[in-house]
Homo-oligomer: A and B are copies of this chain.
Amino acid sequence: MSILYILDLLGTLVFAISGTLSAANKKLDLFGAFFTGFITAIGGGTLRDLILGNFPVAWISDLNYLIVITIGVLATFLFKGMIMQLKRTLFLFDTIGIGVFTIIGIEKAISLSIHPVLAIIMGLFSAVMGGVIRDTLCNDIPLIFRKEIYATACLIGGVLFIFLGFLGVSSSVNQFITISCIIAIRIICIRFKISLPVLKY
């Protein structure tokens, strides 16, 4: 098992937890929580695979995703007090998660000979669409549309990843640099309250 795969599962776990917490916010029942956690965790990758025509989609061919998601949802249900105290840890893994999902999305797209610019968009979709679907299901305007730099960190990371790839940097070094970069951008933007301009009427 590669480190990227383990990080992928960790990211999936954290996304499932975030989906379950959203569900709790809306007073959903256990099924609603499981469903929301599940969709949040697999939504981005599924949409990416559908658009790329890459069948079967990731979680259909590997049962580990479902197992990790089930653990995440049940743990949140049983120990939500404890889990909500882990906010810093969750934040870190969430950020690692979007970094890993971005890279996996780009690599899948590249392996299918997609144009690099579109591959970056596929990476972005992998990272953020789960959260977009979660917020839409829970009847909120997607958070990433007005939150601190989040999707933008993935975009910048994606451009860097493609650029270093062209320079011939080896895949694993490139992955490490890109994920670190995404984490750094997000933390810096939060600390210094940097955000994107808003379009007003």
The answer, yes or no, to whether A9 is at the interface (CB within 8 Å) is no
The answer to whether B198 touches A27 (Cβ under 8 A) is yes
Stretch at the interface among A94-102, A111-119, A158-166, A173-181: A111-119
A interface residues, how many (CB within 8 angstroms): 55
Per-residue interface assignment for chain A, residues 142 to 161, with 1 indicating a CB less than 8 Å from any chain B CB and 0 otherwise: 10111000011001000000
Contacting B at CB under 8 A, from A12-38, are 20, 23-33, 35-36
Verify B51–A114 contact, CB threshold 8 A.
Answer: no
Contact A29 B146 (CB under 8 A): yes
A63: chain B residues within 8 A (beta carbon): 115, 117-118
**Interface: A92 (CB within 8 A):** no
Residues of A within 8 A of B (CB): 20, 23-33, 35-36, 46, 50-53, 55-57, 59-60, 63, 66, 76-77, 80, 114-115, 117-118, 121, 132, 136-142, 144-146, 151-152, 155, 195-201
